[in-house]
Structure 1
């Protein structure tokens, strides 16, 4: 019996199978991992042999699950687990700890830590290749976080926490890599990691909510639209700015679940608003490139519009330049398909990303939203004033509506009026409002 077999030795009976094994894949679960670690801690081998804990996450698993269904998602996890087991062989053990996450434990003599890196690299290399299931081929690279016992921690709880932080760092560095935990990493990523951990619970705990910012048609002096904005008040971290949590959501893939929540709840609120009060406004909803890439997205939009009986002509998806320019040709195809439904497309934060007027000639859009960083200096900076005027003029010639974001004072409004800007949005008109505040605001305006 080798060392791994000794640590994994459990009486093989039905009760143990139910408690210590994952029902789906048949691999040892978190309970077995705790047993494994406890046996190691009281054994003589802990004096000369360390344990590396490799926290493994499949980068594209949500794409597989969303586009091919849970049946193929489950098959993928089962086959992936077997591949992992084959790669670690007698050097380690494989555990499924939940979702698409596996833990691999590797035993290493004190002076042979390079053994851990060899196994981590072999895992990365294998999952850079396609995995065949039935007549489909799937590709999902992995991100790995590594923590060492006793180097980093001597308790399983701490070891798992540190490996998770290292995994988060791997994802932050573009995924498809492995990272060892270190103390500096823990401190640097503490805030982002806290957001990441709590984000997983935010939807279940109903901590997310929406606010809406009105938009004014300058010529009509009339409220003609609202933009839905996601907000988060965490029970553990307090108020978290959208800039923080949306960035983390995009880095970790949570943007898919967050995006679905925003779209459905925005449409539900819009339905209440129009049905109860008769307000007929444009509803702007922010959409990311990750959502566009999801095979589920197009049908999801159709289903949501039907569910809430909303005309697509009243909906506007706001997408940033930088998001569209990622996989440009593919995104343009997907955007064109969405526009065929009748939904408008707004180029959000114009000027912040690629900032080339040339893009305006071929992007399938209906509106330009000039970023607030361009609007803020126009009362003082003549060059910026000329630039904004030129953007508005060219956009109109190309057939686009123009909205100025971040309008804070009357001087800015007067200049934008002279430039024939169509709409404004910003604190001069109103801050973002909760649903009840929005109802009150619209009744007054």
Structure 2
């Protein structure tokens, strides 16, 4: 029997020795180690030699557990109460925690003594895995609480199995009513359709499907992005929903800046031309007509100059509102920039045509604008181009409408004009002049001519008017009435005007030195020059440089300068008058309010326009008007100059009417300086 027991123990030890991955220890009745395999050495760090003969509680049992272990071992020996298998945390040689699953068996050896064997399985990897799982679960919980997204777990048929939302105000249903509902049945019809289609698409194709939608929630319209992923192994869907309202607003703001005018909220040039291109394509496909109306607010600059840009902005906003009143929803009103607008008319017919719209617009603008407790009258100049007659491309049609608008300006403003080929020729000429004008001054293409002025009574030359002439090597001789308005509009008139003043004063000095006499020099000043802050200082310097008395210089002012009503005009005229420079009212009789200007400003000279002089010998009305004008001027202490005198009969009559000075082709046309110096 003893031999058999020894054989059993040896066999058990051989078995445990062969299983090095498992820790096995044997203990006698006093809990001393009688067996210690390689697995125990690896797990606890004690070699077999170190472990044999040592009590279990002294080797691997932590102090808090020692009494329990000793008591349990004793109860098994004396009372037969087995120690149950359990997870334990023991101690290694290095005093580290060792997590094991420990099972116990009891043998009786060859000496009829009981031995307990402990089989310990290392749970370190399992514990690490559990710790990782707990950590990940905690981390996931933190992430879910921190993220604003909403998570849904759905069955393939759309049934909501679970959800998580850190902000429950973003939920469409109350939180307690969500689980168990079907996602494709609880949302508004348009949103429901999107979910239904995208869920089916994701289940069929896999991957991730995303789409956007919006919901009207208690806190306002909210924009969402949904991402759907299919868990095919579980026949489930994960939907992540994110609030993208702010991104949507930012994108909309960017779109607004890119395609719409910031002040009026109308489509800008880019969007207007894009819509026009689309309209033209539709019109061509349907054999229909499309019209472009190019609009410019007449004299808008006067508002900015006199009332300020804030008032001007308010005026533009109100103008945009009125323009929208005149068109249908399918038409487009856009702002091209400044005071220029565009109206695109889709699908013209007998009942709705460009002419009716243009007349309606003019009528709408006849009503005064009420801006900052002021009533302002603002009119329109409208150019109209119709496709396909006037062009089939957006750029061509816009350009032709622009050309027609300039024609409306020439017609007196507050009207409309349809595009013609003749207009295009006029505009091409204008563009050529503008192109050649740049650099013309530097290339010495401008020259100042002089037209003599004579005393009516004595016939003696008393002065001259300086008149600008331009000979372009490319375009030839260009009339002043062609290039002066363009120079005014482009601002080039400022350096050109300075050139005229310099040349006029230089010639005046030479003229007076040559003839040892005193002469007057009349120079035209344009509205744009008056906006130049350096005008007065430049004149002072020029007079000083040439040694010319200010009383010899006369500035001819047209009604166009005075009509702006700007404060800087008043200030500049006052400064010029205080310098001793004479001020002349030019083209008197052609405007509407010249008499009020004579009372308002300190004029010295009045020039009667040539249109009245032409008829004084032909009809009594013109003669009476000139007679009355001369008498009125003299009563105001003004000197009178008649321009455009071409016949001796006119001169004789002007002499009888007591006109002071004359100029015109009867005496001399405008001539270069070298001829004027010899003129007597």
- Place the TM-score, normalised by the shorter chain, in its bin: 0.5 to 0.7
Using structure 2 for the length normalisation, give the TM-score: 0.45
Structure 1: gaps (5+ residues): 1-11, 328-332, 355-359
Q: Is the 8 A contact 1:305 1:312 kept in 2?
A: no
Q: In angstroms, what is the RMSD of aligned CA positions?
A: 6.0
Matched, 1:92 2:331: yes
- Aligned equivalent of 1:62: 301
Instruction: State the 1:32 CA deviation.
Output: 3.3
One of 412, 416, 428 as aligned partner of 1:178: 416
Instruction: State the 1:143 CA deviation.
Output: 1.6
Matches within 5 A, 1:156-305: 156-179=394-417, 181=418, 183=420, 186-187=421-422, 189=423, 193-194=427-428, 204=438, 206=440, 210-216=448-454, 224-233=462-471, 238-243=476-481, 249=485, 263-273=497-507, 281-286=519-524, 291=527, 302=536, 305=539
Matched, 1:314 2:314: no
Q: Deviations over 1:280-338 (max 9, x none)?
A: 642213468xx5xx996798864654464576533324468x989999xxxxx999968
| Number of equivalenced pairs | 412
One of 422, 434, 442 as aligned partner of 2:677: 442
Q: Secondary structure at the match of 2:289?
A: strand
Q: Is the 8 A contact 2:511 2:677 kept in 1?
A: no
Distance 1:50 1:33 in 2: 17
Q: Deviations over 1:122-158 (max 9, x none)?
A: 464146321526x665442212122222343322233
Q: Deviations over 1:161-186 (max 9, x none)?
A: 4323432343344322334x264xx4
Structure 1 residues 312 and 203: alpha-carbon distance in aligned structure 2, compared to 1, 3 A threshold: farther
Instruction: State the 1:376 CA deviation.
Output: 9.2
- Aligned equivalent of 1:152: 390
Q: Secondary structure at the match of 2:551?
A: helix
Distance 2:653 2:367 in 1: 54
Distance 1:106 1:164 in 2: 16
Structure 1 residues 111 and 132: alpha-carbon distance in aligned structure 2, compared to 1, 3 A threshold: same
Q: Secondary structure at the match of 1:108?
A: coil
Structure 2: gaps (5+ residues): 1-250, 565-569, 593-597
Instruction: State the 1:194 CA deviation.
Output: 5.0
- Asked which structure has the greater RCO (Cα within 8 Å, sep 6+), the reply is 1
Using structure 1 for the length normalisation, give the TM-score: 0.63
Distance 1:120 1:231 in 2: 41
Instruction: State the 1:61 CA deviation.
Output: 1.0
Between stretches 302-311 and 13-22, larger displacement belongs to 13-22
Q: Is the 8 A contact 1:396 1:402 kept in 2?
A: yes
Distance 1:65 1:404 in 2: 36
Between stretches 389-398 and 137-146, larger displacement belongs to 389-398
Matched, 1:50 2:289: yes
Q: Secondary structure at the match of 2:450?
A: strand
Structure 1 residues 371 and 129: alpha-carbon distance in aligned structure 2, compared to 1, 3 A threshold: closer
- Aligned equivalent of 2:368: 129
Structure 1 residues 72 and 349: alpha-carbon distance in aligned structure 2, compared to 1, 3 A threshold: closer
Distance 1:115 1:400 in 2: 51
